[in-house]
Structure 1
Amino acid sequence: MWCSGLVIGLLILFMEAALADDAVAWQALREGRAILVMRHAFAPGLGDPPGFVLEDCKTQRNLNEQGRAEAQRWGVRLREAGLTGVRLFSSRWCRALETAEHMALAPVEPLPALDSFFASPVSEQSHTAALREAVGQLQPSEVAILVTHQVNITALTGIFPQSGEGLILELPLASPPRVLLRLAPP
């Protein structure tokens, strides 16, 4: 009997510590001491069709209704977390832009450093260096959200995120970045 009480007590302590860590991560994000890097919301398939055109969404893999609803829930979640005055950056791929637009947090700023290099893996290092440089140019205390692709997040952090997953990363970015919180899709 005392053993089950001990286990319950330890679980409660663990949960309280995890919640405290979550609160610290969210506070760092609100204060611009961290950034949120997220994979675009759900878009069925893998990669893009052959011959896709960046400027033509009809030629790309795009969000479906599930992905659009997921992006809207992200916006609600972030507003409820107290994020205001956000700079919202996105890859120029339509599924990332649409994710950012449906979040409805701020005007979307396309950022080529967030573009997918899935079809050109040899550009991984240059893309990741450009992303690090762009993050390094953020103003102190600037609240930033970056919507990108799995390959970009994996190259930066070593983590393979699911669609719609987000990572709060401590600033300045270490190598690899320190993950303060991993956020499942809402």
Structure 2
Amino acid sequence: MRYKSWVHGLLAGCMVVLAGAACADEALWKLLQGGGQVVMVRHALTDPGVGDPDGMKLEDCATQRNLSEQGRGEAARLGEALRARRVPIAGVLSSPWCRALETAKLALDRPAQVQPALGNVFGRPERSAQQVAELKKLVQRPRDGNLFLFTHGSTTLALTGVSPGTSEMVILTPQQGGFRVAGRLAVR
């Protein structure tokens, strides 16, 4: 009998936690619908591996680790959710890596402007501090719609301290002299 009470208590606790998470997600969607946010999006799922193969060239997608079919589906679902929620988009910037550019194109059905500061910092510690400084300037500017930044998990982590999943959005609210992390949203 005690076991049954414990299970019911656990289930009730999970319901409260799940309801809280759903409420938090709804609050973030409302924030995005109001505009004025900076949305860092980690590129969608790629072919297996970490980093890029030896000899990778930014100008040649064939030399890079690219989106998998599952990743293309993730990017498409992200775009569907943004359109369904009528999230205003003021601008779209992307890392020069092909996987970030393709995620932006599939999700938002428009090309992104390449922003080198959004490039992958994974395995490039000498560039990290400079890129973070450039990104801080970029994200603290207020705007009417939302600015979408398609980038990498390592770059998002370096700027925000958040390590997002593939296609996950990290929402930043610009503030005087910086920004605050409003939260994170994943569309699955």
Q: What is the TM-score of this pair, normalised by structure 2?
A: 0.83
Q: How does 1:54-133 map to 2 (within 5 A)?
A: 54-133=58-137
Segment drifting more, 141-150 vs 18-27: 18-27
Of 46, 60, 75 in structure 2, the residue corresponding to residue 43 of structure 1 is: 46
> 1:162 aligns to what?
165
Question: Aligned-pair RMSD on alpha carbons?
Answer: 2.7
Could you tell me how far apart the structure 2 residues matched to 1:12 and 1:117 are?
39
1:179 matched to 2:181: yes
**Counterpart amino acid of residue 29 in structure 2:** W
Give the number of aligned pairs: 184
Could you tell me how far apart the structure 2 residues matched to 1:64 and 1:11 are?
33
**Superimposed CA distance per residue, residues 134-176 of structure 1 (whole angstroms, 9 cap, x where no aligned partner):** 2234x5223111110011011112222222222122222887x
Question: Do the aligned residues in 2 keep the contact of 1:39 with 1:148 (CA within 8 Å)?
Answer: yes
**Superimposed CA distance per residue, residues 114-148 of structure 1 (whole angstroms, 9 cap, x where no aligned partner):** 011223112111111111112234x5223111110
Shift of 1:70: 1.0
Could you tell me how far apart the structure 2 residues matched to 1:184 and 1:17 are?
15
Aligned-residue identity in percent:
36
Shift of 1:84: 3.0
Mind listing any 5+ residue stretches in structure 2 that lack a counterpart? none
Could you tell me how far apart the structure 1 residues matched to 2:113 and 2:176 are?
21
Could you tell me how far apart the structure 2 residues matched to 1:151 and 1:140 are?
25
1:53 matched to 2:64: no
Segment drifting more, 82-91 vs 96-105: 82-91
1:150 matched to 2:153: yes
Could you tell me how far apart the structure 2 residues matched to 1:41 and 1:113 are?
19
Question: Do the aligned residues in 2 keep the contact of 1:60 with 1:94 (CA within 8 Å)?
Answer: yes
Shift of 1:22: 2.4
Question: Do the aligned residues in 1 keep the contact of 2:37 with 2:145 (CA within 8 Å)?
Answer: no
SS of 1:171's partner is strand
Mind listing any 5+ residue stretches in structure 1 that lack a counterpart? none
Segment drifting more, 82-91 vs 126-135: 82-91
Evaluate the alpha carbon distance shift between residue 19 and residue 64 of structure 1 in structure 2; reply closer, same or farther with a 3 A threshold. Answer: closer
Shift of 1:77: 1.1
Q: What is the TM-score of this pair, normalised by structure 1?
A: 0.83
Question: Do the aligned residues in 1 keep the contact of 2:76 with 2:106 (CA within 8 Å)?
Answer: yes
Evaluate the alpha carbon distance shift between residue 52 and residue 4 of structure 1 in structure 2; reply closer, same or farther with a 3 A threshold. Answer: closer
Evaluate the alpha carbon distance shift between residue 94 and residue 18 of structure 1 in structure 2; reply closer, same or farther with a 3 A threshold. Answer: same
